[in-house]
Amino acid sequence: MKRTAYIIIPVILAAVYSCNDDFLERAPQDQLTDANYWQNEQHLQGVANTFTYSLVGKDWLNRTEIMADSAPWAENTDYRKIGGGNFTVDEDKVNSIWERAYTAIGRTNYFLNNYNRAVNVSEDVRERYAAEAYFYRAYNYWILTSYFGGVPYISEELSVDSPDVYRGRDDRDYVIDQITKDLEDHYKALPEYIEAASPEFGRVSQGAALALLSRIYLYNERWEDAVDAAERAMENPYYKLYDTGNPDEDYVNLFNYKGRASRNADNHETMLAFIYNYDLGESARTSHNLSRECWVPNDYARFVPTKSMVECYLTADGEIWDPKQCNSYEEIFENRDPRMKMSILAPGTPWTGAPKSDDPQNTDPGIFTYPKLDNNKESCSTKTGYYMRKYVEPSTVQYVSHDDNDIVMIRFGEVLLNYAEAKNELGTLNQDDLDKSINLLRDRAGMVHLDLADLPAGSDITTEIRRERRVELFFEGFRYFDIIRWKQGELLGEDLLGVNRRWLDPDRLHISPDDKSLQWVTDDDGEQYLRLETGRRFEDPRHYLMPVPFKQYQLNPNLLPNNPGW
């Protein structure tokens, strides 16, 4: 099935400036200029199509997961250094977050200051595209405030003479007030929903706007507003979890080719995605390389699950998993929350990451049986002992940059989690709230319900709601932000660890566990874990916000003082 992809092409409109001669100041009639551009819906849509630049697609996982503690990049990268607190104010990646967001905001401001010039277009149509602009402006300010706290709030086009060029930083609360008001005032101009697999899929709907509102309110501790926005999204009959009645596959299929909403009309869960389409042909195709990065057939796996993520999953009966009771690699995955096997590669799962297997007990390299810890370039190795499964499309692993499964940016499952968390923070959470939110997610995967009257021994409801968020939204770009807003920054300062040495059978490994290329660290219980990274640090309050980038305050000293500790 071939579909039209939204290709992000900057709209360049050349304004015509000349002398006082009226004739010379007339806009050319045979080319688009700012003077004659805003004439029809195609012009409005052309600018609005560039707004998806904000979503960054697969790079969203680079900017978020690599910085956190659940599925980092296997070798040190700039984003991993940032997450580990080992960076300075002149870090280029921090500056790129700032610059990209403000570039996107500039596009929305340009649109909002000009769209009403399209007088030949109906008001409803104009306001629909304006609502998309407000959505993406809010989205980018959500990113900026989440990373940097207070930032300059700019809502007009800037020229070299604009006073806002040298504007100081506005308080975070002020920015949040502005963007939530914009969304509340304008979201009803959007369609209630965008049908999956339709030519319009990828555009913004009321549902996506309400989901973003619930996220922004939640991240800024506006609990009542978060509940209200989530409830409004939950009332829309179109949106529901992707559930075909196959609990062993539905969750994982949501992220691969089978369930992608850009092609599958039955996926009513994905509310907004960054769409790729490899089928468009060499000159127009769009793709990413995520599957191969997770299962590189002749190198090390790039994104790798960690010890803390693996040990986070509950048992199948809803109890806290005890690693001391585990005695083999296979046992790690037995009797666990079913979402674990659909997110992290388990023995017995079909895979395409090994032209041949180094496990002497494996007679079929098309089935994963055991991790490979050394990198001899003959099959996929892992630096934590674990491999990703979520987002992997097995059919494209053998190719470089052939993936075109959707990168999910907003989905209904998140709305349910936002609702439950906000209700809990308000102190009003009851069992009915859990049954219409978290337990729907568990039902889809065949997991036992979360019961307020029967929580896992030694835990509490806040811990379990946060665990549920980590499990359900694993590898979707939320973990770093959640750690920061929950004030659990110390987790980012801990070593990144992998598999327990005791669980591995040396006779099934290609190299000895004593090989000098492997580093093991012993915990307080005497257990040895494979270490991916040490030397991470988290300083409070320094690392709860990123610094205003050096390049930015060199250009605009009014951005100072910098964030605490910088």
DSSP helix/strand/coil, 368 = coil
pLDDT at 32: 53
Tell me which CATH code domain 190-275+406-486 carries: 1.25.40.390
DSSP helix/strand/coil, 394 = helix
315 touches 337 (CB < 8 A):
yes
Rounded Cα distance between 135 and 222, Å, is 19
Helix residue spans in 65-91 (DSSP H): 78-83
Residue 43 has which token pair?
């012009």
pLDDT at 14: 30
pLDDT at 305: 98
Read off the pLDDT of residues 156-183 as tens digits, 9 standing for 90 and up.
988 777 888 899 999 999 999 999 999 9
Taking 90 as the threshold, does the pLDDT of residue 400 lie above it? yes
The percent of residues above 70 in pLDDT, for the chain, comes to 94
Of 55, 421, 407, 409, the residue nearest 230 (C-alpha): 421
Read off the pLDDT of residues 458-487 as tens digits, 9 standing for 90 and up.
999 999 999 999 999 999 999 999 999 999
Of 519, 537, 290, the residue nearest 384 (C-alpha): 519
Going from N- to C-terminal start, the domains of the chain cover 190-275+406-486, 285-403+496-535
Taking 80 as the threshold, does the pLDDT of residue 24 lie above it? no
96 touches 144 (CB < 8 A):
no
How much is the average pLDDT of 494-503? 98
Burial of 258 (0-12, 13-18, 19+ CB in 10 A): middle
How much is the average pLDDT of 255-272? 98
The CA-atom distances, in angstroms, between 256 and each of 2, 260, 333, 389 are 17, 6, 21, 10
Mean pLDDT of the chain: 93
pLDDT at 7: 30
Where does the pLDDT of residue 22 fall: very low under 50, low under 70, confident under 90, or very high at 90 and above? Answer: very low
Taking 70 as the threshold, does the pLDDT of residue 26 lie above it? no
pLDDT at 25: 37
Of 199, 204, 201, 194, the residue nearest 131 (C-alpha): 204
104 touches 136 (CB < 8 A):
yes
DSSP helix/strand/coil, 554 = helix
Of 144, 88, 137, 129, the residue nearest 108 (C-alpha): 137
Read off the pLDDT of residues 78-120 as tens digits, 9 standing for 90 and up.
999 999 999 999 999 999 999 999 999 999 999 999 999 999 9
pLDDT at 31: 52
pLDDT at 61: 97
How much is the average pLDDT of 524-536? 97
pLDDT at 557: 97
pLDDT at 158: 84
* Cα end-to-end span (Å), the chain: 51
